[in-house]
Amino acid sequence: MSNRTNKGGCHAAMNEVGAPKEIHPMNWRRLGTKCVLPVLAFLSLCTPAMAERGLLLPEAISEHAERIDELFWIIFWLTGIVFVGTEGLLLYFIFKYRAKEGGKAHYTHGNYKVEVIWTAIPAFILIALAAFQFNTWTEIKDPEKFPTADDGAIQVHVLAQQFSWNFRYQGPDGEWGTDDDFTVENQLIVPKDRPVVLQMRSIDVIHSLFMPVLRFKQDLVPGLTITGWFEANKAGTYEIACAELCGASHYLMRAEMQVLEPDEWDQKIAALSKEKDGIDYESPTQNFRFWRPSEFEQKK
């Protein structure tokens, strides 16, 4: 009698210890309530504050920046919907097809129609996005569309070097290679509501001129002169950074952009032209010595 009791007791203990535990459906709901809902609540509270403070995206101060943001949000919501849908299916399948006592495996080699559909839909979306942004891309990147012939456009030469930015300006006469040309270090000064055409070079390694509020980012490659342009529509002082790891002191390569009202900008340029030393293009120590004014169209 005692032997049977002990055997039964041992068998029960083995079942109690060794048998796999299944999570009760109620536990799954509790797990979701404890983990998912607090995260959603946190995001719902933080998102408006983050948007107001520019933590989601910096302020946009140009027409191109606003159009780039529009494309960004379209892609964000498309990928967000796909992410939620696929992760939701993953969690559903994990729960539905979890290990069960007496369950049998089922072999499947896939579904050809489903594979064609989930390949064709992303391809169609990518083609649609490419067509949607094509005009914006060409306006920003195609040199033939740059407003160089615009009477109100200004030119600035940008020279990057470890670890600073040098901005060369035409003086009040509006021509390159004259005595009133001058250079300002780590300060880009531009007028509001006027096109600014940048001629950019690097003197040593690859740098990247990044102006977040303009959504402007351009790599500068040694040996190449690269052109870009923008038109800021809001006055203020904004950050410029190097977005390419360019050496041990990369973190120091920062500058500021001042966007001024047109009249104020004219006065600022005239004052700086008198304050700064002129550019000696024949000097062997001049940063711009290898960048001759004759390389660029004279702007009057």
Q: What is the pLDDT of residue 298?
A: 41
Average pLDDT of the chain to the nearest whole number: 80
Domain identity same for 48 and 64 = no
Chain segment 100-119, per-residue pLDDT in tens? 888 777 777 878 888 999 89
Domain-embedded: residue 36 = yes
Q: What local confidence, expressed as pLDDT, does residue 264 receive?
A: 94
Q: Identify the weakest region by mean pLDDT among 81-90, 152-161, 175-184, 229-238.
A: 175-184
Residue 241 lies in a domain: yes
28 plus 128 within the same structural domain: no
Indicate if 118 and 191 belong to the same structural domain: no
Residues near 199 by beta carbon (within 8 Å), at least 6 away in sequence: 155, 156, 157, 158, 225, 226, 227, 296
What is the average per-residue pLDDT within 144-167? 87
- Cβ–Cβ under 8 Å, residues 253 and 207: yes
pLDDT at 40: 67
Same structural domain, 120 and 245? no
Q: Are residues 123 and 167 in the same domain?
A: no
Residue 290 and residue 157 in contact, taking contact as beta carbons nearer than 8 Å: no
**Same domain for 193 and 84:** no
Is residue 15 a part of any domain in this protein?
no
Domain with residue 83: its CATH number is 1.10.287.90
Residues of the domain holding 78: 57-97+110-145
For residues 279 and 205, state if they share a domain: yes
Q: Has residue 5 been placed in a domain? A: no
51 and 62 share one domain: no
**176 shares a domain with 125:** no
In a shared domain, residues 284 and 171: yes
Domain assignment present for residue 176? The answer is yes
Whichever domain contains 186, its CATH number is: 2.60.40.420
| Rounded CA separation 164/146 (Å) | 26
- Answer yes or no: do 68 and 37 share one domain: no
d(CA 248, CA 245): 8
Q: Find out whether 194 and 152 touch, Cβ atoms under 8 Å.
A: yes
How many domains in the chain?
3
Shared domain for 122 and 224, answered yes or no, is no
